[in-house]
Structure 1
């Protein structure tokens, strides 16, 4: 009888410790997580049970504020599902805001993940608002800068992991980060500065360079600082259609977008107005064509500093929002985004006019601004992350008109060169960069923009299966394509249904940049 009882207890304990049996292993009630001192320097302000609804499982939602640095108030929202898969997923922010919203982490919760999100150290919720960055004109809020720039992601990982251990009675088996744009920057920061926080990182379209802000301003200047150069929304489809007509077939498949825009050399002179024509929906003025040409060329200062990367041909579909302007953003998204960041972080003056920025004389100064140390994670040496077995998936929409896929590619090449001599295996065993042809900033565009990076990362970290191709699809379309690790790209085999990813190989880019 005693032996049977012991056997039953042992079996019950083993069952409770299994990854899919967290409900039995739960060490604390949800409300009990409000116990003072449970997490160092952290006050749990709310811990509530949320019933299963709308396809989501039942979970414990915990809101906690960490003040480990003087003046810092980093909020972490942790969601702990009753039916836990044993793993943690942290989600990044967007624009200038953090993200603690349920809808952001809902897909991961459905998969059984414990999830965390953070306010990035400030109460602002507007993606284009940065009023919290200065305490008064000319005075930077350095505590919030550090939180937003680098500290919040790290602190939220610590807080979330402690709550997981308290609630489930054991730590997570794997910890993953997933984010795009600002969230991509946070992921890069974690790999460089806190390599122990995560086992795997997905960093999409990362905003990790001052070039994003400078090029956002300069691209607006191309159109707005030369009289007559600003294109109209009626001319945007004219430009896009001309590009697609000229270059869509270069990859062997006419599908409405450019697989490799680097192979396209279309020039706006082809739609420049002839003598007697007036600029409009049928043609561009000389000044408009000149501005578009500058956009495609990018700009490097005489002393060799990149101000703006070349804008990829084929991504003109979002130029109305980014460059021409829409009612909420009359000067276009790019100048509003770059202008806000530069006004607050460089000029410390929210009233500063970004169209007055002089890249030839100010770019070097911009690079030296105090915000650089916190917000620009451009250190290519991530060898500590790689050596501890970390895996990173970098990805970028090839037609992103915000942060450039070329900037991310430049970083990837630098990282590969720096890390390779320090390890015994190829860097691609730990880090891979996926370009998403025809895709804009974190999605959208004419190309297939729906893909499951998280499953690819899981298989890589947990099973050792490095992603050779990731299948992408598009809403309301039968088209699927493989996303391929650089320096390869989806290439049609020459036969079979062109809407089927199975008929595409991952072959070297031509030209391979």
Structure 2
């Protein structure tokens, strides 16, 4: 099995066989004038509050795995990133206040003018300041000027937030605004033409960033693609802390080992896999799944144990019921929806790979309390969570349901969420969509004019999983194109957004593909909420014609 991993908040992708990759042709020789003008940006590009750090020409085929200036903890984000077009790379330092700055990478492809003169800004994951280099090479291959920033700090840790509110402001939203502005200025200077449409693409924290733009700055982006969004951010990290305390902390009575999580996953599939009509390891609507974990309960009177009967204790069962149920606060108020049934393996893998509750530890230490000594194990409780909820710097919770400004601007928003996401439950995306609908008084047929939400069955966090997860979105391997198609011929969800913005052709479905456990290709058209993907009753379930949206 080939696995592609990221730090918390980006992607865990598991494939039995890799998707067909676009075979790169030998590097081509770009126009000499383009190369010259690119390199001259070192001296000639001088926007206010901005310093050029690098201006270099990168020919097609350049591997960005070992890109200079990338913090070691961000190495994954450049792994396998290969430029598929000749491009100009511009790295700049943008001063955002007397105590903060943003680093931006701007990739300007030689094909820009013939490919629509588009600009796209990309997002980040977790609390990190890692630029998604794979997303930059992917977008530039499709002809976009692609922009990524470090969110105002380097690496995965939130230490840079300590007593520095301006850095938090960059992380919350400002880095996207300044990066986009400088990127558009660079495009205008290099190509000597004004940019056309402006887009955004991000997953996880990047999805939250996309919703922040849709809520507060909709006039700046013609199209926004927000995947697995980490909105309702404060309750999300509180929920993560509570789940870890229940089942992820090796010292907790409800702690589950990897072997036990596998057993739980098998139970979920045995009880829920056939709800959609096909036993294929993919849940088309996990919201219908209500597993009875008591099925795994040890008979205490008979002396059963995990070692003897592969069963779980009463405390473990109670912990599971809490994890797979909504989280309520100490005053009985709803905080966050339950974990996705079917996402057990990814959840366990994420806990073990990425340090358990690191995000909430960093947030509390460096933002809430400004106290580096705060200890999760001795101090965490739902009572303490009220302290976390009380501080929402720069509206980072991103839970505003009023998208009227986006609607009035006639700009477009697409969100999507993997239904097997083990990091951020997809049920939160359903909640937000319905919250917008109620708050704006708009049924889905009217929301469809500017806001569409797609559910991606069998997809983990941003990518990976047992379903048809590859949809050409954020955080997905940039060099893996279904059927070996080159970027210009691939029509994924990003290009679906472009068609909606530029041609008025709104997507009704999002096509996904992957390679299954037996090496077979899986192709499925994922439905626009509130429609659901439903098996027609016959036919190969790995083919899109065997399903319909109802």
Structure 1, gaps ≥5 residues long: 1-21, 135-139, 508-513
1:82-231 aligned within 5 A: 82-84=110-112, 85=115, 86-122=117-153, 124-126=154-156, 129-134=157-162, 140-208=163-231, 209-223=233-247, 224=249, 228-231=253-256
Q: Secondary structure at the match of 1:231?
A: coil
Q: 2:327 aligns with which of 268, 282, 299?
A: 299
Distance 1:52 1:438 in 2: 34
Q: Per-residue deviation at 1:268?
A: 0.9
1:33-432 aligned within 5 A: 33-35=41-43, 38-53=46-61, 56-84=84-112, 85=115, 86-122=117-153, 124-126=154-156, 129-134=157-162, 140-208=163-231, 209-223=233-247, 224=249, 228-274=253-299, 275-280=302-307, 282-323=310-351, 325=352, 329=355, 332=356, 335-357=357-379, 359-369=381-391, 371-420=392-441, 426-432=446-452
2:526 pairs with 1:499: no
Distance 1:443 1:380 in 2: 26
Q: Per-residue deviation at 1:225?
A: 9.2
Q: Per-residue deviation at 1:359?
A: 4.8
Alignment check: 8 A CA contact 2:277 2:535 kept: yes
Alpha carbons of 1:306 and 1:394: their partners in 2 closer, same or farther (altered >3 Å)?
same
Q: Secondary structure at the match of 1:73?
A: strand
Structure 2, gaps ≥5 residues long: 1-29, 63-82, 472-491
Aligned counterpart, 1:11: none
Q: Per-residue deviation at 1:406?
A: 1.9
Alignment check: 8 A CA contact 2:94 2:103 kept: yes
Give the total of aligned pairs.
470
**Deviation digits for residues 353-412 of structure 1 (CA, Å, limit 9, x no counterpart):** 22345554233332221x432422221212212211211111111222322222222222
Q: Per-residue deviation at 1:25?
A: 10
Distance 1:308 1:191 in 2: 22
Answer with 1 or 2: which has the greater Rg: 1
Alignment check: 8 A CA contact 2:246 2:252 kept: no
**Deviation digits for residues 26-70 of structure 1 (CA, Å, limit 9, x no counterpart):** 798113323467322212222112222256221111111211433
In the TM superposition, structure 1's runs of 4+ consecutive aligned residues that sit over 6 Å from their partners are 22-28
1:413-492 aligned within 5 A: 413-420=434-441, 426-451=446-471, 452-475=492-515, 476-492=519-535
Aligned counterpart, 2:16: none
Alignment check: 8 A CA contact 1:45 1:64 kept: yes
**Deviation digits for residues 252-303 of structure 1 (CA, Å, limit 9, x no counterpart):** 1111121111111211100111222112472111111111111111321242
Aligned counterpart, 1:16: none
Relative contact order, CA 8 A, sep 6+: which one is greater? 2
Alignment check: 8 A CA contact 2:127 2:359 kept: no
Aligned counterpart, 2:489: none
Distance 1:392 1:162 in 2: 24
Distance 1:427 1:227 in 2: 44
Alpha carbons of 1:488 and 1:226: their partners in 2 closer, same or farther (altered >3 Å)?
farther
Alpha carbons of 1:322 and 1:76: their partners in 2 closer, same or farther (altered >3 Å)?
closer
Alignment check: 8 A CA contact 1:100 1:116 kept: no
Distance 1:424 1:216 in 2: 31
Moved more, 438-447 or 392-401: 438-447
Q: Per-residue deviation at 1:416?
A: 2.5
Distance 1:197 1:491 in 2: 37
Distance 1:356 1:217 in 2: 13
**Deviation digits for residues 109-160 of structure 1 (CA, Å, limit 9, x no counterpart):** 22222111111111x222xx111111xxxxx211111111110001101110
Alpha carbons of 1:265 and 1:424: their partners in 2 closer, same or farther (altered >3 Å)?
closer
Distance 1:24 1:195 in 2: 38
Alpha carbons of 1:201 and 1:352: their partners in 2 closer, same or farther (altered >3 Å)?
same
Aligned counterpart, 1:3: none
**Deviation digits for residues 463-489 of structure 1 (CA, Å, limit 9, x no counterpart):** 111111111122344222221111112
Distance 2:55 2:192 in 1: 17
Alignment check: 8 A CA contact 1:63 1:78 kept: yes
Distance 1:234 1:113 in 2: 45
Distance 2:405 2:262 in 1: 47
Distance 1:188 1:385 in 2: 11
